[in-house]
Structure 1
Amino acid sequence: MSVTARPSDLAYDRVRHVVPEVEWATFADDIDAIHALKREHDAVILAHNYMTPEVFHGVADIVGDSLALAREAQTVEAGTIVLAGVHFMAETAKLLNPGKRVLLPDLRSGCSLAESITPEQVRELRAQHPGVPVVTYVNTSAAIKAESDICCTSGNALAVLESLGVPEVIMIPDQYLARNIAAQTGIRVITHPGACEVHERFTPLDIIGIRQGHPGVQVLAHPECPPDVVAEADFAGSTAQMQAYVERERPERVALITECSMSDNVAAANPDVDFVRPCNLCPHMKRNTLSAIRAALEQGRHEITLDPATARDARRAIQRMLEVA
C-alpha cells in the first residue's frame, strides 16, 4: 500500500541544498499542521520574499515582493488571508480584500519606514509644496497611504513617477529609494528622511570587500540602499527584479545586497548559482515563524481592521498604482 507523502517532505525537495535535513525535521510537524489548518479554515498564506525557507517554501501559497503580493491579493478566493510579512503588507491585503479576514501572525511585525512618518508630516509637505503630487512607498501605514495621491513599490516606482507627467513629486518616506529613482529620471523629487533599517546599514566598503573575497561575483543591490551602495553594484532592483536577473543571467556567483533570507529563497530555485550571503536580518520579518503562523490559524489572530474612511482613501492610492503597474 502506498503512503501519501507529507507536505513537509514534498517541500523539503525544494530546499534540501540550502537547509540541512536535521534542521528541517524540527519544522515538519508545524508545516504539516499548517497545511491541514489552511484546508480547515479556508485560508491561504501570502509570504514576502524575506521569509525564511521553511515559511517561504514550506507553507506559503503565494510568494513575492510587495508589488506581487499586492497584485495577487486581489485574486485570492479563500475567505482568510494570512500575511507572512509586516503590518503594512497585511493592511494592503485588507484594503484590496475588504470582505475577507486578514491575519497577521505577530503584531510586532512593524517596519522602520512605516514608522518614520506621520499623517501630519504628509500634510505639512503638501502645504510646503502646493500642487505637487505625493507618491507614497507601500512600506507605509494605511493612514499614510490615505494622505497620498498614488502609491509605488521599489519594483514600479520609476513607472509610477513617469506616469504622472509632472516635473516634481513628493516621494515618501524612503529617502534612498527616492534619490535612486530620481537619478533615473529628470523629475525633481522632494524627500523625507526615512530609511529601511536593513538596507541603510550596507556600505560601499561591504561591496568592495565582497568583490575582493569573491572574484567575479556579480553584486545586486536593492534601491532602498544608499545611492553610493547602489553605485557600487552591478544591478539595482526590487527583490522580484533581482530574482529575475539571477534566473535570466545565470551568474556563476552572485551577492544580493538585501535582507539575507532572500538569498536562501532564490538559491533554492537556482542550485547552480553560488550565492555569497552578506547578512542583514529584518527583525520584524523574522517574527513570522511557523509557530506564529500556526497559532494565527488555530486562534484566528491577529485580525486586521481599518477605519472605513481611511481605507477608502488608502485603497484609491493603491488601486491607482496597480492601474499603472
Structure 2
Amino acid sequence: MTLDVVARRAGVSLATASRALNGATSVREDLRRRVRAAAELLGYVPNAHAQALASASNSTVGLICHDVGDPYFAAIADGVMRAAAEQDVLVVLASTFREPDREIAYVSTLRAQRARAILLIGSGFQDRDWERALAAEVEPYVRAGGRVAVVSRHRSLRVDSVLPENRAGAAALARSLLALGHREFAVLTGPPELSTVVDRLAGFRQGLAEAGIRLAPHRVVRGTFTREGGHTAARELLARSTLPTCVFAVTDVMAVGALAAFREAGVRVPQDISLAGFDDIPLVRELSPPLTTVALPLTAMGQDVLALALREPRGSRSRVLRVGGEVIMRASTAPPPDSRAAAAG
C-alpha cells in the first residue's frame, strides 16, 4: 500500500495526503479526517524507516532531485554525498521524476521528520500553483529553524541558491557555433514549464540574435528531458524539413539520444550536421564523436549547495552562488559542410 493510493481514495493530492498524515497544520480538518479515514480503511502504515529518521534529524539532510538516474543529478548528488560524509551527515535521497506534487510531498515529509536541511536539486517549475504550494511548505520549515538550499532557479523561494548561469552559457555556446560559420540552427528542448529549459533556450536565441540570426519556430522541437526525449525530438526534426547545419540540445542527455537518432538515419556528425549539448556529464567525453557542450562543475555544485544549507544563517538575506559555464568545443561540431567544400575548392 502506498501513499498515492491513499491520496486517490481520499480524493486529494499526494502533497495534501502527506501533510495530513504528518500532522501539518496547513491542512483543513475535513481533509485531514478524510485522508486518515482512507489510510485506516486501506491499512496504510507509514514507512517505519522514514519515521525512525526523525529521531536522528539533527544529522539528516534530505536531497530531492528530479531523477537520480540522470547523470546530471547523479553528479551533483555525488558532490553532496562526498561533502556530507566529511561532516558525518546522513543524506536521504529522493527522485520526483519531475512530478511537481511529488516534490511538494517529499518536502512535507522531510519537514515532518525534522530534517536538518532540505536540498532541492533541479529546475523549478513555471507554475504558480506549484510555487505557492512549495512556499507553503518551505516557509514555516525555515521559520522553525530548518535550512533549505537549491540548485537552479526557484523564483518563489527566498533561500540560499547555487545558480548555474544557464542563459549566459547558452548564449556563449551560440556565439562559438556562429564563429564556426553556422547560420542554420535547430534546438531540441525540454518541457516549457522548467526554468532551466526557459533560460537555456532564451540564452541561445539571444546569442543568435546578436548576429542577426532568427531561430525559426519549426526548428524548435520539444521532448522530455531524457535520452529517449532527445532521440524522439531528433527523429521529429529529421522528418520536418531541410536539415539545419547545427543542432543544440539543451541538455547533454538529450544530445546523446539525438546522436543515436542521427546515426540510425545515416546522418553523420559532424560531417552532415553538428551537434552540441549542455552540462558536460562524464559520458559525453567518451562518445564518438565527443560532444561539444557547456561544462558545469557538477560535483562542486553539490558540495557548494550542502555548504550553503549547513552554514549558520546571517540575518534574513539569502546567499546566491552563481556558477558560470565554460564552452568546450569537441569533435561533434565543425564548420558547416558548404563552407568546408568551399575551403577545399
TM (normalized to structure 2)?
0.31
Q: Compute the TM-score of the two structures, normalised by the length of structure 1.
A: 0.33
Q: Which has the larger radius of gyration?
A: 2
* Greater relative contact order structure (CA < 8 Å, 6+ sep): 1
